[in-house]
A and B are shown apart, each in its own frame.
Chain A
Amino acid sequence: DVKVTQSSRYLVKRTGEKVFLECVQDMDHENMFWYRQDPGLGLRLIYFSYDVKMKEKGDIPEGYSVSREKKERFSLILESASTNQTSMYLCASNPSPPLQKQYFGPGTRLTVT
């Protein structure tokens, strides 16, 4: 079974802190994604990566950066957390397109106070 794990289920940070969210997948998938999920807005893509050290901006990259130094690990970084980044963050991975069966982690609920 494919497994996608996220470093924390719940996280509370203060405004201005630097925040790291880590995601690890164990199925040698090329593509990895970070989404945020907010009520009524569905999933919004922040960044994705299709290879080591490769990254592409999604729909809402402002305020975020990512790092993919190893194929199995994709990190999301909030350089200076703000209250409007309070959200559920979901990581996903899938093998190369065209069939993109995405496997999701359990999510990290981040609260910025």
Chain B
Amino acid sequence: GEDVEQSLFLSVREGDSSVINCTYTDSSSTYLYWYKQEPGAGLQLLTYIFSNMDMKQDQRLTVLLNKKDKHLSLRIADTQTGDSAIYFCAESSGDSSASKIIFGSGTRLSIRP
């Protein structure tokens, strides 16, 4: 079945850029998403990209999509301590009412001073 994979941990220095990578297997993915989970909280949608786009920028966040390689990345510029969280990549491909989203296992981002 469909799968979404990401590395489990990433550590960056405060002020540097963070790049979180994700690969997926479903070639019919329609939308790809990035969610953020802060400690003790539910997930919060950060951004999403439609599959016919290759880049989307939103303030400090840049999403890059390589559809040929089925690779998605999230770049956070000028990483701050408030960016410490778990980041989940997800994809959806259906348009029927019974469609669901496939999540990766999450990347824990930690910030070094």
Seen from chain A, the residues whose Cβ lies within 8 Å of a Cβ on chain B are 4, 30-31, 33, 40-43, 45, 48, 50-51, 56, 58, 90, 92, 96-107
Contact = CB atoms under 8 A, between A and B. Distances in A.
State the main secondary structure of chain B at its contact with A. Answer: loop
Interface in B1-55: 8, 30-31, 33, 35, 40-45, 48
A97 B95 contact: yes
4 closest Cβ pairs, A-B complex: A104-B42, A42-B105, A98-B95, A97-B99
17 contacts: A43-B43, A43-B88, A50-B97, A50-B98, A90-B43, A97-B94, A97-B97, A98-B30, A98-B94, A98-B95, A98-B99, A99-B92, A100-B33, A100-B99, A104-B44, A106-B41, A106-B42
Given A100-B92, A100-B101, A106-B41, 12 more contacts: A90-B43, A97-B92, A97-B95, A97-B97, A98-B92, A99-B30, A99-B48, A100-B99, A101-B33, A101-B45, A102-B43, A103-B45
A50 B100 CA distance: 10
B58 to A, nearest CB: 14
A31 B100 CA distance: 9
